[in-house]
Chain A
Amino acid sequence: KAGVTQTPRYLIKTRGQQVTLSCSPISGHRSVSWYQQTPGQGLQFLFEYFSETQRNKGNFPGRFSGRQFSNSRSEMNVSTLELGDSALYLCASHGPGTSGGPSSYNEQFFGPGTRLTVL
């Protein structure tokens, strides 16, 4: 199986602009989660999408939004960029086991990330 892909890999924007990042999950995975990782920081959970619906959300301002398409591909958007938004944005896909409930969502498969620099 092909792994999780993220595009673009690198992006440079200026303050006030908006940006859209894309993530294609592993085939068959219907859940996609997004994380922000800043230097020296851990994985800050942004949100999770399942079957085109946001299922979970972290503590980020409304400038951060996302969506998921019927083929499970997901995009996240950041509007009105700030310097502090410079980070590595990771997406992870995971698929249910046989039960389909939360107990079957365990291993997450990460993409290589998109490195966003805001000048």
Chain B
Amino acid sequence: GENVEQHPSTLSVQEGDSAVIKCTYSDSASNYFPWYKQELGKGPQLIIDIRSNVGEKKDQRIAVTLNKTAKHFSLHITETQPEDSAVYFCAAKSDSNYQLIWGAGTKLIIKP
């Protein structure tokens, strides 16, 4: 069936450095790719998304890149700060599905 693989499961970076999380999807019809951030004690919240007609999207310190040929997309966080510590989920969806297919999540730890 359709699935999304996400790596790494845990990522520890020094404050101020960059962090990259990668996801690969299986359904070539997928055309919507969101990233969610889940802070401790809260539900996931959308932080950025990208559609298949765009290769890259930026919002301040975060960016997402998409490679449709390779069927993978990545989240880039620059100049990491303590408040970036959280679990990040990627997901993918096609126009024929109501549901998102979720990655397993990445726990990002920002070391002071």
Helix, strand, loop or mixed for chain B's interface?
A: loop
Interface residues on A, range: 20 to 34
Q: Cβ of B25: which chain A residues have Cβ within 8 Å of it?
A: none
A72 adjacent to chain B (CB < 8 Å): no
Cα(A48)–Cα(B98), bound, Å: 9
Cα(A102)–Cα(B29), bound, Å: 13
As a 0/1 sequence over residues 86 to 119 of chain A, the CB contacts with chain B under 8 angstroms (1 = contact) are 0000101000000001110111101111000000
Q: Select which of B41, B49, B98, B105 is within 8 A of A102 by beta carbon.
A: B98
Cα(A81)–Cα(B76), bound, Å: 41
Q: Most B CB atoms within 10 A — which of A102, A108, A112?
A: A108
Cα(A4)–Cα(B42), bound, Å: 12
A70 adjacent to chain B (CB < 8 Å): no
Quick one: closest A residue to B106, CB to CB?
A: A42
Q: Select which of A42, A55, A113 is within 8 A of B104 by beta carbon.
A: A42
Is the Cβ of B105 less than 8 Å from the Cβ of A106?
no
Is the Cβ of B97 less than 8 Å from the Cβ of A102?
yes
Q: Most B CB atoms within 10 A — which of A33, A45, A50, A105?
A: A105
Is the Cβ of A106 less than 8 Å from the Cβ of B93?
yes
Residues of A whose CB lies within 8 Å of any CB of B are: 4, 31, 33, 41-43, 45, 48, 50, 55-56, 90, 92, 101-103, 105-108, 110-113
